[in-house]
Amino acid sequence: MTKKLFASIILLLGTQTISTAYSILPDTIKSQKHFITTTRELSLSPTQTIKAFIIKNVPITKNNITLEACYTFKKPEGMKNPITDGDRLYIINVLHSVNSMQGIQYYSHTRKKLRTLFEKSYIIQYPSLKQANDPVVKNLQQTYTFYILQKDKTFGEVPYRYTIYQKPDFILLKTENVSTIKYSMIPVVDKRKFKFFMFILDKGEDIALYCVYSIDIIGDKALPLQKVKDSLYHRSDAIIAWFYTKLTTK
């Protein structure tokens, strides 16, 4: 797989600001990114149904940071048009392969180099936090729920709840924190207030991934907004690059 480690892309930071950053995405993936301050600014959602879901589930307030991103790439060889139940099952198993996320890299805008995003990444039994193996999913279900633990450079060691929804028009991965998140040792995000949504859509010859990060900051905690934006954008790119690699290397 050919990668363009430092390909220039345009990040839309709010409705007025445009800046240049770097991406670890391969050049086979097209991406758009957008920082929003009200639900009226949602512009990258591929369907009205998904847009309505985000409006309902992501209340944007003065203490909220919300970013959306859309990625598209050609379906891997062997994936049907439209996708089959077998394709769906393979995608769902990829989303369960949490241990393979350990060691994936992201681009650090602050340090201007690649760094490890997840020092730890594995499924856990909750609330004991005992490590468990990635499961092999053999049957399609409407919903899957499991817990994982990840340790990263920005938020430290955090347990998350993963929920996968299998819908007729898309597959949705929802990630939310189940403990308070700290930034520089200061509690900044309460439980269930850090959310990541990844919608996976069949788009003919392509796969589309629509992602939304939503963080509700505790009270009036002061965070370096631009640094958090950059961190979330690069985190999103790293997760998409991981998903793409897993999907295309059966």
3 state SS for 173-217: EEEEECCCEEECCEEEEEEEEEEEEEEEEEECCEEEEEEEEEEEE
Angle, vertex CA 120, rays to CA 115 and CA 123, nearest 5? 140
28 contacts 74 by C-beta, under 8 angstroms = yes
* Amino acid symbol at 136: V
Q: Which residues of the chain have pLDDT under 50?
A: 1-20
Which of 39, 40, 41 lies closest to 12, judged by CA?
A: 41
Q: At what angle do helices 225-248 and 85-96 cross, to 10 degrees?
A: 130
For the stretch 152-188, pLDDT in tens is 978 899 999 999 999 999 999 999 999 999 987 889 9
Provide the pLDDT for residue 250: 73
**Domains in the chain, ordered, with CATH?**
71-248 (3.30.530)
Which of 188, 193, 236 lies closest to 59, judged by CA?
A: 193
What pairs with residue 159 in β-bridges? 149
185: CB partners within 8 A, 6+ apart: none
Provide the pLDDT for residue 21: 53
112: left (phi over 0), alpha (psi -120 to 50) or beta: left
C-alpha–C-alpha distance, residues 59 and 15, integer Å: 19
Provide the pLDDT for residue 85: 97
Provide the pLDDT for residue 221: 79
Per the structure block, which two tokens stand in for 185? Answer: 């040792």
* Amino acid symbol at 63: N
Provide the pLDDT for residue 13: 30
Q: Tokens 């924190």, residue?
A: 177
Percent of the chain with pLDDT over 90: 72
For the stretch 48-67, pLDDT in tens is 999 999 999 998 888 899 99
232 contacts 66 by C-beta, under 8 angstroms = no
C-alpha–C-alpha distance, residues 237 and 106, integer Å: 7
H/E element, 53: helix 48-57
